[in-house]
Structure 1
């Protein structure tokens, strides 16, 4: 077990030098708050919302990925506009990324009560490598000595969202600009834009149950993508219970519990099933979400998306 952990740790350590570009952090609880991947979701539900999500991937492995996200948003100006901000801290091995964004959305209501939202976001992304964490036999490696340890770049994102009382469809590119970094002798791309497509539907006529299937496609290129399929049941308007599959190689269970009218608590667990090196190392995610009526036109009510 110790040898396996060391091998996996070395994999995370040298991952930045082997890949052309890293992928966005993987989220399991996106179906409870999509503002983290789509600025058009900002202020969508006509309340003030703050959501915190902490995700530990492959628990038990040194240097495994961890992601902490804080998102704050609110509708404003007669609920026609959404305003928000997000802070993301993501780390794995010697690499850590910090990102801050502000977001704006504009909502258009259709005669049938559906909502179409367009969103923009802008922010800064810092990518940092702590080479002091490396234990090397030789410390005079020219590439490492000249490598750029940190880079901060601006970025911009765009998103679109269409929602009725029964379904939603979202399309977004949350970070549109590539990020390049000097690796000690050459410049390489550390981040490339990702495209997100999400959709979900609620079957609301199942007695005391509500059933919500949903999908999320994250695409960078033909070799770098993630496809999630999720199915959730809402019990007694208070507890969500669901299961998910990512690339048909990772299975997950998730739940969300409503506490009163304002507080929601969530937990998700994932386990790879087709990777023998990682089988047995689960992924855990915790979520806390708070809805408040801070402005005159805000209103708490049941919502499925």
Structure 2
């Protein structure tokens, strides 16, 4: 049963061109940026805690599931932040856990613009229980339990409450995690380009576009664009478009320092896999910002 499940998932990955499965990115990157580029924490010196969950291929057991968590504290006197990023990802009998601590510092380069730099360090742990698939099949008997250190960096140019542009390498692998064995994960360095802005539309409406471009040595570059419209900074609705054809509808509520987001992603070019399995992805995010810095950007 579990062996058939893994073969099914492997076939799905192959059918959409993901022979080497990199950790997934979330569609709500315009709101939760620190997990992609820790330097983005400098835009909220009051501190912030956020968590986001993503579930793909609803209806199939063992489908990709990812949870991100991030939190940081600010030191306004020196315009610096320190925090922690955590991710847990599962795919069939494989599980990946990552944790890294970061420190970021910004310097003023003009009257209203800042340049931020961040460094992070942590570990990745890959656990593949292939022996659970079929104990009598030698091809699936070797389990994988690997731990590797990681370091990363980020840089961001920003103007508070107006715009930001950033480049990050959050995972510079120091070993060969996932490069051998039967693992579907093959980790190589992944680079992220992020950008976003906030435009007021009168006194009650705001428009927030954002961009995320991901490049990896083992995968085709992926680009995605999001556009959100807000009413009185309380309720927002928008769309996300990815270069591989996925579309997502998004909604966000802001209340009392909390931000609650939801997205529903699908690929209109793919047919449902069967009556129980479809190509949709659900994503829920929750964040809380401390202090008085409650802006949309």
**Fold shared, TM-score > 0.5 on shorter chain:** yes
- Aligned partner of 1:233 in structure 2 is 229
Matches within 5 A, 1:181-260: 181=178, 183=180, 190-221=186-217, 223-247=219-243, 249-260=245-256
C-alpha displacement of 1:7:
7.5
| Mapped partners of 1:241, 1:247: distance in 2 | 21
Contact 2:59 2:278 in 1 (8 A): no
Evaluate the alpha carbon distance shift between residue 289 and residue 131 of structure 1 in structure 2; reply closer, same or farther with a 3 A threshold.
same
Deviation at 1:123, TM superposition (A): 0.5
Q: Check whether the contact 2:69–2:86 (CA below 8 A) recurs between aligned residues.
A: yes
Q: Do residues 159 (structure 1) and 158 (structure 2) align?
A: no
Say if 1:9 and 1:64, in contact at 8 Å, map to a contact too: no
Partner of 1:73: 72
Could you tell me which residue of structure 1 aligns to residue 283 of structure 2? Answer: 285
Residues 242 and 253, structure 1, Cα contact 8 Å, conserved in 2: yes
Superposed displacement of residue 74, structure 1: 1.4
Counterpart in the other structure of 1:113 = 112
Note if 1:303 corresponds to 2:295. Answer: yes
SS in 2 for 1:31: coil
**Structure 1: gaps (5+ residues):** 1-5, 294-299
What CA distance in whole angstroms lies between the structure 2 residues aligned with 1:14 and 1:124? 30
Structure 2 unaligned residues grouped into runs of 5+: none
Q: Name which of structure 1's ranges 88-97 and 267-276 shifts more when overlaid on structure 2.
A: 267-276
Q: Say how many residue pairs are matched.
A: 288
The alpha-carbon deviation at position 176 of structure 1 amounts to 1.1
1:176 and 1:227, CA in 2 relative to 1: closer, same or farther beyond 3 A?
same
The superposition leaves residues 193-233 of structure 1 with CA deviations (integer Å, 9 ceiling, x where unpaired) of 10100111222144421112211101114843321111110
Root-mean-square deviation over aligned CA pairs? 2.8
User: What is the TM-score normalised by the length of structure 1?
Assistant: 0.85
CA distance in 1, matches of 2:266, 2:20: 24
C-alpha distance in structure 1 between counterparts of 2:179 and 2:247, whole Å? 37
Asked if residue 53 in structure 1 is aligned to residue 52 in structure 2, the reply is: yes
Shift in Å, 1:189: 7.8
**Stretch deviating more after TM superposition (62-71 or 196-205):** 196-205
2:31 & 2:18 partners in 1: Cα distance?
A: 31
